[in-house]
Structure 1
């Protein structure tokens, strides 16, 4: 158990195993920023200040690199079984605090408590999965075609990794990167989103208490991510970048990483199509739509945004979707009755309102919601917009909110063409009573992940990632582990 002191915060009526750190984790200690600058953290449901966290400078970003570098050799040399045991201890420690962490996520992110509980379980699963994968980094041995030598391949840790995570899944996006990095033998610097740093810091403290050595995981919060991350990426000791966020920011980071030719994994924007064919089971399709659209109130890169519904089932689908979404209770995440929590900030609300207004101006019809409620908090109601016309911005822009845009179609080939008419290619959903037809459509849709007759694709054991401008590389599964490894070929004769 680590006993060093740090600046921390507690929330009224909210008890946990330790006070949440609010400083920077560099090496073996939580330390304040040298400048004394702080970043305010707000509750999206009330717009009230929760606390503030240390605001790192470029120098403190390099201090985190120093700490990761100091720990790198020992961690890389740590036997895989010991790394696995530490990761498994992190899994059990995180699950032991599932309810506490879920409440923390709800408070700083705004999401409904059931969604937050699901996130904690999903986040912890990456520790368990990569505890199992850590001992399975197998090499290769073969004979060269000429017979002149043997071809031996080893997989070695790629090196220090900069991990940049978004606000929508503050626990899961952190563990989905940290766990494979540690399993592969890499040390890392985590840069969480400024909107939701507390969850990431709580997870880091749980990891320290579970036995992760000093310097293996460092946490740097900053209000100036551009300069700080650029400085880190231009340090020659840093050899890996993993980023989850918008495609626009991903492009900037790729340019930064190019100067040192840093290996980059990018999980970027999405604009998921949801195809419903006439022969689909309507109840099953509606249930899938509720999960794919309303998980995390639509604030997910895998969220279904464009609902292409074949004309024969269109009206019944819209009617049932309106009924189900209209029955959802909107409110603060910690309210046990809440099913749709707050959006992250005012900017998110403004974007949703703009997209809905544009669709209506082009001829779409509001079937449910479509108007922000009065009062405090960043809330937007579950909404269904039907007969959305071609050219509407909501069809080309990720809405990241609880708005379902529905478009009828006649021919499945047209639906596939519409689904592919985007620069994004992360996730897609297909509902049909004909499995052969569903798989044929799944192969034609330009996405890294397709769910057939189900509304959820995320799984620690599956390769998560997109094509086109939705990203590079994969997270989760054995593929995610190899993102943090270098393949070394050794030519041997015997």
Structure 2
């Protein structure tokens, strides 16, 4: 399917109570192709009133959906999995057009995102409680699980399918209704997926989707609504903190997947080839625009010269281009503001004495391209080390021993992901247990998996998505104590 035909078949309205409709103000917002810096489509721009209408629908459908048998909920997710998988090329092309990543990576995202549908289709009928006898006798202890209720889901722009399925699938499995607000930069993939869920048989009102340029106003109104029971957000830590403050008075159930500043540790006994390939994967997946991306590379002093030279060489060899081009490996950043931020951080580090080993260049348009970059000899206060850099920049520093490596890795407010390369299994386990992150890759540069719990600690948030833990975020636990008389 050609690009124009694909974009034209994507719904562009608001999806409320099982129907597509325009915004109440009849306004729209532009979706841009970041590889061309040109408009791609226009979608409905929801008002506060539209947001309330979406929550009205979710609240109205909540009781019936909660009573729907778990097997039926799971079968809907299974059908959606099969539909998405059958349309992998359409979804991949749409992701590439609105987000910019190369088609090969977009296909991988579709596979990954669809897996949440299959995983939670299998988890739905496994929701269970327990039965026990009080230790002092006389009372039976019954524990049950039930849906939290209407949820508000705010998803980011960098993985427009996977971030939607990672939240929607467990909510559907648990019996929750929802209002989803996708990022204004990349709403098209979520809108197409919404139609798939409807075609898979999801009842009206269970999934409601609104796109808007006035996110703050719409979200603030919904957070204050007493019918809303849960908020789940993926995005930056400052925005997450603001949402938590707004939610405090309502004591909303929260899941927060926030920023990261992942360390990548290479010890002197590491397999150099594996470490370099792992570094490329951990840094350059999604052009570095991933919360799990390796942001700080700590390499043992003995291995640092060889590792740095080979890592720089591999980065320089990556083909930059529009994601639809044959062989493209590095796409654009999401917009000019994002590219400016990356460039500014590199320029600041160089002004403070750092050295750019490769890259460090903005490419002329069209599009928002920045060359894969390796920076060495950084001052300790460089923002490239202290803050998350959402782009294709790898700062490399050296260490002398294990304790120093762990201290450098943990010297951050964030704690989402980390990576270790070593042949010593004892060391690998010891360091993994010492790192203050929610996820660790041991001799692996990519660790996301629908069957594993995804999430962080510290300023990277709380709650888990995926794995057996993921569905618990959408369930309440109820205890029933039953008095039983002696026979």
1:34 aligns with 2:48: no
Supply the distance in 2 between the matched residues of 1:144 and 1:356 (Cα, whole angstroms): 62
Residues in 2 aligned to 1:263 and 1:190: alpha-carbon distance in whole angstroms: 16
Counterpart in 2 of 1:231?
Answer: 221
Q: Return the match for 2:144 from 154, 171, 188.
A: 154
Q: Quick check: 1:170 aligned with 2:170?
A: no
Tell whether the 8 Å contact from 2:297 to 2:395 is kept in structure 1 after alignment: yes
- Does the CA contact (< 8 Å) of 2:36 and 2:365 recur in 1? no
Deviations 1:48-107 (A, max 9, x none): 111111011111101001111121111111111111110000000000010110000000
Task: Name the residue aligned to 1:424.
Answer: 414
When normalised by structure 1's length, the TM-score is 0.97
Question: Secondary structure of the residue that 1:312 maps to in structure 2?
Answer: coil
Determine if contact 1:152/1:489 at 8 Å carries over to the other structure. Answer: yes
Offset of residue 13 of structure 1 = 4.6
Residues 1:370 and 2:360 aligned together: yes
> Is 1:140 aligned to residue 130 of structure 2?
yes
1:493, distance to aligned residue in structure 2 (A): 2.1
In the other structure, the counterpart of 1:272 is 262
For the residue of structure 1 that corresponds to 2:247, the secondary structure is helix
Specify the alignment match of 1:245 in structure 2: 235
1:443 and 2:433 equivalent? yes
- Secondary structure at 1:325's aligned position in 2? helix
What's the counterpart of residue 461 of structure 2?
471
Give, in whole Å, the separation in 2 of the partners of 1:116 and 1:122.
10
Partner SS state of residue 242, structure 1? strand
User: Following the alignment from structure 1 to structure 2, what is the Cα–Cα distance between the partners of residues 219 and 458?
Assistant: 26
Question: Alpha carbons of 1:11 and 1:52: their partners in 2 closer, same or farther (altered >3 Å)?
Answer: farther
1:43 aligned residue:
33
Give the equivalent residue in structure 1 for 2:479: 489
Distance (whole Å) between structure 2 residues aligned to residue 212 and residue 368 of structure 1: 50
Displacement of 1:145 in angstroms is 2.2
Is 2:221 the counterpart of 1:222? no
1:183 and 2:173 aligned: yes
Unaligned 5+ segments in structure 1 are: 1-9
Counterpart among 188, 199, 202 of residue 198 in structure 1: 188
Asked whether the equivalents of residues 24 and 49 of structure 2 are also in contact (C-alpha less than 8 Å), the reply is no
* CA deviation after TM superposition for structure 1 residue 114, in Å: 0.8
Of 383-392 and 124-133, the range deviating more from structure 2: 383-392
TM-score normalised by L of structure 2: 0.98
Match of 1:403 in 2: 393
Structure 1 runs of 4+ with >6 Å offset: none
Residue in 1 aligned with 2:93? Answer: 103
Q: C-alpha displacement at 1:472, in angstroms? A: 1.1
SS in structure 2 at match of 1:21: coil
CA contact (8 A) 1:11 1:50 kept: no
Q: Is the 8 A contact 1:448 1:466 kept in 2?
A: yes
Equivalent position of 1:5 in the other structure? none
Pick which of 384-393 and 161-170 moved more. Answer: 384-393
Give the conservation status (yes or no) of the 8 Å contact 1:425–1:448. yes
Aligned length: 484
Residue 375 of structure 1: CA displacement? 2.3
- Aligned partners of 1:137, 1:85: CA distance in 2, in Å? 15
Partner residue in 1 for 2:82? 92
